[in-house]
Structure 1
């Protein structure tokens, strides 16, 4: 593994579009901020904010935590993610993973962006398993009928989004007949936790996820860390309110290869923290 240093990672984040000037348009960001303030369930990502949020206060938070333009008069066009904020959050994200490795915690991985992020999460799962962490696979096969603009679609939890070094998949995602799909839903993590509780199985110590998988886990009281785009304000609200441990700002819709240097950086920091701790 050839891990980038901080300066090299900052350069990669900007050149790849993970941060800096990103593809998510400003008008989409502002729409989502308003919909979260309206408490639209699709944009709450499984969270139930404890305070009242307005579109204006969400924008202020996102400017502070993500680096979008703070100008309310900027209504359309390009928006930004501050790469320094991305790396700062990545450091906290990696430190929480390192703590899991040191304590050999049980960790659950899931993604609402499986085509983009599952491969990255699988790398983290492989590393944590190597450090002695049990990687939880739960909920496989649970499903429900979801209403979409194209009619009702059967969605089930599956583990085909990414395969690890041992040939197994450790990243849960919703799947339809064609394979893993994008989802904001928190319903699958809630159902998974309910099934674990019914069986007398402890909930995971840590959930590594995004979208509703992450928000729903945090709302259930489980430590959760996640990636979130600048049009996904709910996870940053959750972090601000102390419900989520870490929300990392980045463009979450790029090709998987774009995230490889980011993964190298996180894995290198996990190992460095373990060495310092004497593990």
Structure 2
């Protein structure tokens, strides 16, 4: 898919030091808005194999609650103290930067090797711009951005029960929209944790004879669902989403970038520029 370039020029890529300061100033890392209570609840649910937090991952290990907490402390920088039950949690900005470096290296390698790339998000209200800028850069470099299953329906269990959604693409990024919102002002899409959309997309690509993605860039179910099926996956994840980090620890997610995934969308622009610079891609 050819994606038109943005209608404005991008600012220069920030230095590592400047980006670290930006992460802390915006709450993408450092003291984040994701609460300790939310994180611990997710770790507990993950330990019981609750599908709402597995995000399509089928863990190999037992992953008791204390093991999940210890992993998140190592990968993200949250407090390892199980007695700390309340308040804001933390993301170590240096862990975020190191993960962004690995993320950029994987993206740059995929483009250099001319591997098709699939972008997908369950967090379009915050992260769509981040992915769209990466998709534009991949396309501009001659890469193939995949967009299979446009308009396909998928039934997803929500807190309101089973609801029909449809696959859509915005600037090369896959997302879902609730069928009930068809024809309504629904930009930029629905918040979704389910792995079902990526399964529908991958099945559609296989049915038409490919190509299949050589790299999947996404979050939530897009990342874990694809990783569970053996695709190379990179993407961001919050401190209350342990599945991508467990997937990384077990070798089914290549890179999970620890950060708060719900700050204002404009705050992720410096991360985009940093990644593109490290990946040797033009914005």
Q: TM-score, normalising length from structure 1?
A: 0.92
Cα drift, residue 152 of structure 1: 4.4
Matched, 1:174 2:183: no
What is the CA–CA distance in structure 2 between the aligned matches of 1:27 and 1:151, rounded to whole Å?
25
Counterpart residue number, 1:71: 81
User: Where in structure 2 are the equivalents of 1:93-172 lying within 5 Å?
Assistant: 93-160=103-170, 169-172=171-174
Cα drift, residue 200 of structure 1: 1.7
Contact 2:239 2:258 in 1 (8 A): yes
User: Where in structure 2 are the equivalents of 1:13-24 lying within 5 Å?
Assistant: 13-24=23-34
Match for 2:234 among 225, 233, 248? Answer: 225
Runs of 4+ with deviation above 4 angstroms: none
Match for 1:26 among 36, 44, 53? Answer: 36
**CA distance 1:46–1:146, change in 2 (3 Å):** closer
What is the CA–CA distance in structure 2 between the aligned matches of 1:62 and 1:146, rounded to whole Å?
28
Counterpart residue number, 1:198: 207
Q: TM-score, normalising length from structure 2?
A: 0.91
Counterpart residue number, 2:8: none
Report the secondary structure of 1:135's partner residue. coil
Give the number of aligned pairs.
265
Say what the alpha-carbon RMSD is for the aligned residues: 1.4
Cα drift, residue 147 of structure 1: 3.9
Report the secondary structure of 1:243's partner residue. coil
Report the secondary structure of 2:246's partner residue. helix
Match for 1:8 among 14, 18, 28? Answer: 18
Match for 1:242 among 251, 258, 262? Answer: 251
Unaligned runs of 5+ in 2: 1-10
What is the CA–CA distance in structure 2 between the aligned matches of 1:149 and 1:79, rounded to whole Å?
25
Unaligned runs of 5+ in 1: 161-168, 275-279
